[in-house]
Amino acid sequence: MGVGRVFCVALPFIMTIASLICILIVMTAGLTNKGIWMFEVSPKNLTVGVNQLESLANGKAIAPSSTLSSASSIESAIAGIAGNKNVSAADLGIGNSYQVYLWNYCYQTAAKNATVCSKSGYNWAASELNPAKLQANISATSIALTGQNITLPKDITDALHTYATVSRWTQIVYIIALILTGLELVVGLFAFCSRVGSCITCFISGFSTSVIIIASILATVASAIIVGALNRTVKQFGVTQSMGDSFLGVTWAAVGFSLGSGLFWMFSTCCCAGNHQRRNNIEKGPYVPIQVHNHQNIAPSYAPGAPGYGAPPQRVGGGYEPYRNV
Domain assignment present for 153: yes
Domain assignment present for 288: no
Domain assignment present for 286: no
Q: What is the pLDDT of residues 129-186, one digit of tens each?
A: 888 887 787 777 767 766 666 777 788 888 889 999 999 999 999 999 999 999 999 9
**pTM of model > 0.95:** no
Distance, CA of 152 to CA of 42 (rounded, Å)? 17
Domain assignment present for 326: no
E strand or H helix that includes residue 306: none
Average pLDDT score, the chain: 75
Q: What is the pLDDT of residues 267-317, one digit of tens each?
A: 878 776 655 444 444 445 454 454 544 445 545 555 555 555 555 555 555
Q: Is the pLDDT of residue 82 over 80?
A: no
**Cis bond leading into 286, ω under 30°?**
yes
Buried/exposed 261-297: b ≥16 CB within 10 Å, e otherwise: bbebbbbbbeebbbeeeeeeeeeeeeeeeeeeeeeee
Q: What angle do CA 212, 215, 217 make, to 5 degrees?
A: 110
Domain assignment present for 285: no
Domain assignment present for 139: yes
**What's the pLDDT score for residue 240?**
87
Share of the chain above pLDDT 90, in %: 32
CB of 85 closer than 8 Å to CB of 79: no
Domain ranges, residue 229: 3-270
Distance, CA of 49 to CA of 61 (rounded, Å)? 13
Domain assignment present for 276: no
Q: Is 72 helix (H, G, I), strand (E, B) or coil?
A: helix
Give how far Cα 308 sits from Cα of 289, 301, 302, Å: 13, 10, 10
Domains in the chain, number? 1
Query: How far does CA 95 lie from the centroid of its chain?
Result: 29
Q: Identify the burial level of 186 via C-beta atoms within 10 angstroms of its C-beta, where 0-12 means exposed, 13-18 middle and 19 or more buried.
A: exposed
Query: What are 214's strand-pairing partners?
Result: none
Domain assignment present for 92: yes
